[in-house]
Amino acid sequence: VDEFELIRRFFSTGYPQRTDVMLGVGDDGAISRLGRDEELVSCSDTLVAGTHFPPELPADAIAHRALATNLSDLAAMGASPRWFLLALALPRIEPEWLEQFSAGLARLAARYQVALIGGDTVRGPLSMTITALGSVPPGTAVRRSGAVDGDLIYVTGTCGDAARAWQAMAGGATLAADDPCYRRFAYPEPRVQEGLALRDLASAMIDISDGLHVDLERLLTASGVGGAARAEDVPLSAALVDQVGLAAARELALTGGDDYELCFSVAESRTTDLARLSADWSCPPVCIGRVVSEPGLSWELDGLGLANPSSAFQHF
Ligand code: ADP
Ligand code: MG
């Protein structure tokens, strides 16, 4: 069983159903109805040392990543981040490490005005779970399931950079602190404002945590449609192409993961609205393909069919 089969089998059904749960397991965040004016959007992500980051990563970067991955899930729902809880397992108490960890956490929290409202601290192998909570006006959260035939598919920023850095570090390389790929891995910038801006425009949205191919495939599957995408249009950073060459850069961009960019669909009739809305973004959205009715995601490169990328990040 893979991760999704596991969740489907053991955690999707058999639990109490409530009418105030607008959306449960299966999207970037859950949607709960509290009152008339707002819905709560919640998500949770765990990072384990050695699995999701090298244990020697600076403590402020570990904290930043832990919060950023959650803010990215809220962004993918179009939610305003408001609060978070931190459950932290530490092998030992090291005041200097904690000083740096909390500084990194506080810095990112301040940028988006999210308040730390609770958590838990235990002794154990280094890992942390952050639960982030945000809100949307009722009915406005962007789900994975709204893409329709003919919509255009977009991705923000660039893909593959963080995966390149993780791969290099896993292979024993020490990257310069100012290496652009390392920066993308250590301090991913959640696309919070962009997600909010897309709330009334995107028909479906997901954040890219496991790789563009698998995450876009998840969006398309949730929407009951397919997609035709062009690998040559997937945005790559100059640094990535410089470091690994064009072919490897494309491979990393499609399969690498840890990008925390937004991938979304927009009705073709609204693409001028999108261009206007995103004119001043630091991570401009790029159209990489189109939604089709036939299920499945196919890629082409310069007009030729591409074998489906498969080396995506597997949780199990
Ligand atoms: P993401 O990559 O966006 O964080 P995941 O792939 O981690 O999403 O999870 C997919 C979906 O399954 C999400 O809706 C998540 O909340 C849910 N999920 C994951 N693990 C569990 C679990 N143990 N119990 C209940 N729901 C879970
Ligand atoms: Mg997600």
Q: Model confidence at 1, in pLDDT bands (50, 70, 90)?
A: confident
45 CB less than 6 Å from ligand 1? yes
Q: Dihedral sign, CA of 134, 135, 136, 138?
A: positive
Residues with CB under 5 A from ligand 2 (ion): 28, 73, 207
Radius of gyration of the chain (CA): 19
Which phi and psi angles does 33 have, rounded to 5°? Answer: -90, 125
- Which residue has the CA at smallest separation from atom 2 of ligand 1? 209
179 lines ligand 1 (CB under 6 A): no
Cα 159 to ligand 1 centre (Å): 22
Q: How far is the CA of 207 from the centre of ligand 1 (A)?
A: 13
**CB 25 near ligand 1, within 6 Å:** yes
Distance (angstroms) between ligand 1 centre and the Cα of 98 equals 28
- How close are the terminal C-alpha atoms of the chain, in Å? 8
pLDDT band at 316 (very low <50, low <70, confident <90, very high): low
> How many whole angstroms from 271 Cα to the centroid of ligand 1?
31
Tell me what pLDDT residue 309 has.
76
Instruction: Tell whether ligand 1 has an atom less than 6 A from the beta carbon of residue 39.
Output: no
Per-residue pLDDT tens over the stretch 128-184: 999 999 999 999 999 999 999 999 999 999 999 999 999 999 999 999 999 999 999
Tokens standing for 261?
A: 């960019």
Do residues 17 and 23 touch, judged by C-beta distance below 8 A?
no
Pull the structure tokens for residue 143: 């789900």
Residue whose structure tokens are 């991705």: 155
Expressed in angstroms and rounded, the spacing between residue 303 Cα and the centre of ligand 2 is 30
pLDDT, tens digit, for every residue of 182-233? 999 999 999 999 999 999 999 999 999 999 999 999 999 999 999 999 999 9
Nearest protein Cα to ligand 1, atom 25: 11
281's torsion region: left (phi>0), alpha (psi -120 to 50) or beta? beta
For ligand 1, pick from 1, 3, 7 the residue to mutate: most ligand atoms within 8 Å of CB. Answer: 7
- Helix, strand, or coil here: 7? helix
